Amino acid sequence: MGLVWLVPIAGIAAILLAVYLIRDTLARDKGTPEMQDIAARIVEGANAFLRRQYMTIGGLAIVAAIAIGVVLALLSQTDIDGDAVVTSADKLGMGWRTAVAFLVGAICSGVAGYIGMFVSVRANLRTAAAAARGGIREAVAVAMRGGAVSGFLIVALSMLGVTGIYYAYSADAKAEIVPFLIVGFGFGASFVALFAQLGGGIYTKAADMGADLVGKVEAGIPEDDPRNAGVIADLVGDNVGDCAGRGADLFESTAAESIGAMILGVAAYVAATKAGLPNAQVWILFPVVMHAFGLLASMAGVFSVRAKEDEDPMNALNRGFYVSVVVAVGGLALATFMMLGQVVGNPGWLFGAGLVGIATSIAFVYITRYYTEGKFRPVQDIIEGARTGPGTSVVAGTAVGFETTMSTAVVVGAAIWASFWLGGHITFPDGSPVVHGGLFGIAVATMGMLMTAAYVLAMDAFGPITDNASGIVEMSGAGSAVRAVTDRLDAVGNTTKALTKGYAMGSAGLAAFLLFSAYLDTIESLKLGQLLQQGVAVAQATAQAAEFRRVDISVPTVFIGALLGAMLIFLFSSMAMRAVGRTASAVIDEVRRQFREIPGLMEGKARPDYARCVDITARAGLREMIMPGILAVSLPIVVGVVLKAQAVAGFLMVGTIVGMLLATYLNNAGGAWDNAKKTIETGTYIPKGAKEPLKKGSAIHAAAVVGDTVGDPFKDTAGPALHVLVKLLATITLVMAPLFL
């Protein structure tokens, strides 16, 4: 139990280190006055959007918290063990505690998103200046350290938030009930993350599509050209979507998955307590201790990144990732053998399960790199397709996206099978089997995969920081030599953003099974309590409650629930992409109007009205995020109220599987299209039988730009929003489970 102290120590250390990195980043050279002017416009636009977005989300969150508190206070609930009926006062307490946890999770998720944006809109300018002054090496250091601020603070906030609420609620509630009360924290985080990812994703991709189609395809001017009215909105969008949205997304991931693992530890805790075994709380607190070791591992990884001028910057980032992995393995060994060694007779099996999770994270890094980097076959297939026009480029990218689902399904399936098998071998010190040991093995694997979350999030923020740096360099007229440096970093940033999406979806796949099992545990326990309250004998009640763990798809209501779960994934994605299309059309019309009506704009003698495009995308992003978000929150509740608990299980199971695979398709197809375009622009791809590389500005490049435009809402709006949706379905069904009975 002494290792629990590592949680506040690692959390505080991460916060202090993040403060140091902020000071270090802000103290660096800010470049020329022209660079500073462009950067100031990005900061202004990002701040204005996030203020308006979080005011909207905040109002929705308060309404949701009140509804949760009232509904749960009115419902008949029982002790999680089923050994005592909860009184009216207790029911009221459980309701408001869940509501308070929801609000805390929502606030922390919002703070996490704001932190991601705050640092990125300042690190971008310093990265541009570093590229102009010191080249690749210094620019990589600035961008990576700026991204690390988000990684450290977001994971620390998640870990400290979950642990703090656990101990606050443990003061006057049974330890086995507390994880079910703090599910609200994960739901609040998911709630805010969904709207933040949707709003930011709609904003960034509408601006990007509008700027690219009119500027690069129609007007034939470079990307990020200062004559293009949509460029500032595009650069703002990188921050509010890829930084703020992704920050909220990964905060929600670490929180929800920790809580799911804690709930699965409850069964072992109860059995150990009844047997009189010491330190039984280890079963519940082990997940947050693993996060603490993961934070330390990520710190080691970030500070080991040293780029060389003559190498691919991706190699430097990969070295840092593998340093994080090695340190994480050491932390996993300490946590399993020292902490779980007190309550498990053979902790080596759980160490193996944790290694499965770490290996899964590495597998997803390789899978995503293969499908989205320009030096591999999938992206080159798309480039070859672009040689015969935009239609064949789109077909090739679609095929690549569909192909990626196979590797995702195989890796996630293998990880679940292996970790379940390993966990199934664990026993208590007296040799008796651990209740749900296989499921706890999956929980340890999920935590193992998330141990490098802070480092992966730093790599993710590296992408929009370097993208913005390229835009600042282009718009400030810093010169082609500096732009060549930032273009190299931008291409790497495209890959790191894709890696994060693959990593997030992989962890969501493991966590989805984890949270689905936690939902079945919750329903079984609540049903047992109801039956005992009705006077049913213990043996009979236990047998009847156990039936709720069996989800039979041949039952009509369960099949309908499953069908609606699959439908939600496609309808939600459709609504998100239509929102991008409508907003992009408005941006395109505005950029065309300015080229047509502002005298001297095309010749560079006049300045476009950047603020107009920023305002169009901001208003549309806020308006368009509401309906998909409400659909995602309300449909599982409607299914549960109308079709009941087991139909929700079918809804959750099938919705999760379809969401995971569709997100994989959207993320990787979009990333491959983007890097096909980037590969042509860097002049590094020579087609088979040709002597010269493909050139920027050619017909083939224009076809690749069309493919990239199709992929934009795939990879940066619908795909990332599905990550959040998959986990939101699990957390909302956990919180509202009493309503479904």
One DSSP character per residue, 469-526 reads: HHHHHHHHT--HHHHHHHHHHHHHHHHHHHHHHHHHHHHHHHHHHHHHHHHHHHHHHH
pLDDT in tens, 427-455: 888 888 887 889 889 989 989 998 998 99
Tokens standing for residue 15? 């916060």
Q: Are 521 and 464 spatial neighbours (Cβ–Cβ below 8 Å)?
A: no
Cβ contacts of 686-689, under 8 Å, gap ≥ 24:
687/383, 687/384, 687/387, 688/384
- What per-residue confidence (pLDDT) applies to 93? 58
93, 94, 95, 100 alpha-carbon torsion, rounded to 10°? 90
The alpha carbon dihedral of 633, 637, 643, 645 has a sign of positive
Q: Is the pLDDT of residue 505 over 50?
A: yes
Q: Residue 676 to residues 234, 372, 384, 463: CA-CA distances in angstroms?
A: 20, 8, 9, 17
| Residue 9 identity | I
- What per-residue confidence (pLDDT) applies to 497? 79
Q: pLDDT class for 647, splitting at 50, 70, 90?
A: very high
Which whole number is the average pLDDT over 355-361? 94
DSSP label of 278? S
| Residue 193 identity | A
- What per-residue confidence (pLDDT) applies to 84? 41
**Angle separating helix axes 348-372 and 437-450, nearest 10 degrees:** 50
Q: Are 82 and 546 spatial neighbours (Cβ–Cβ below 8 Å)?
A: no
Tokens standing for residue 372? 């989205």
Q: Are 466 and 143 spatial neighbours (Cβ–Cβ below 8 Å)?
A: yes
**Residue 340: which of 276, 265, 419 has the closest Cα?**
265
**Residue 35: which of 136, 141, 122 has the closest Cα?**
122
Residue 85 DSSP SS3: strand
Q: Is the pLDDT of residue 664 over 60?
A: yes
Do you know the residue count of the chain?
741
Q: pLDDT class for 485, splitting at 50, 70, 90?
A: confident
**Residue 715: which of 353, 53, 197 has the closest Cα?**
197
Give the whole-angstrom CA distance, residue 566 versus residue 64. 25
Place of tokens 């991008």: 580
**Residue 2: which of 312, 320, 229, 342 has the closest Cα?**
342
Q: Are 710 and 392 spatial neighbours (Cβ–Cβ below 8 Å)?
A: no
- What per-residue confidence (pLDDT) applies to 1? 63
Residue 433 DSSP SS3: strand
Q: pLDDT class for 383, splitting at 50, 70, 90?
A: very high
DSSP label of 625? T
Q: Is the pLDDT of residue 76 over 60?
A: no
Rg, C-alpha atoms of the chain: 25
Output 216 or 469, whichever has higher pLDDT.
469
102, 105, 109, 114 alpha-carbon torsion, rounded to 10°? 100
- What per-residue confidence (pLDDT) applies to 381? 93
DSSP E strands, 140-235 = none
Q: Are 582 and 620 spatial neighbours (Cβ–Cβ below 8 Å)?
A: yes
pLDDT in tens, 589-636: 888 888 888 888 888 788 888 888 888 888 887 888 889 889 999 999
Which whole number is the average pLDDT over 501-518? 79
Domain boundaries, the chain: 7-740
Percent of the chain with pLDDT over 90: 25
pLDDT in tens, 232-265: 888 888 777 777 777 777 787 788 888 888 888 8
Give the whole-angstrom CA distance, residue 188 versus residue 714. 25
pTM above 0.85, yes or no: yes
Across the chain, mean pLDDT equals 85
Burial class (CB in 10 A: 0-12, 13-18, 19+), 29: middle
Place of tokens 């977005």: 53
Give the whole-angstrom CA distance, residue 616 versus residue 59. 22
What's the first-to-final CA gap in the chain, in angstroms? Answer: 37
Residue 85's DSSP bridge partners are: 78
Tokens standing for residue 382? 């798309």
Residue 78's DSSP bridge partners are: 85
DSSP label of 703? H
Tokens standing for residue 359? 């290996």
Residues 6+ apart with CB under 8 A from 296: 10, 13, 327, 331
Give the whole-angstrom CA distance, residue 112 versus residue 135. 31
pLDDT in tens, 143-160: 998 889 888 988 898 899
- What per-residue confidence (pLDDT) applies to 79? 44
- What per-residue confidence (pLDDT) applies to 323? 95
Instruction: Count CA atoms within 13 Å of residue 581 on its CB side.
Output: 10
Which whole number is the average pLDDT over 129-148? 86
Give the whole-angstrom CA distance, residue 449 versus residue 667. 19
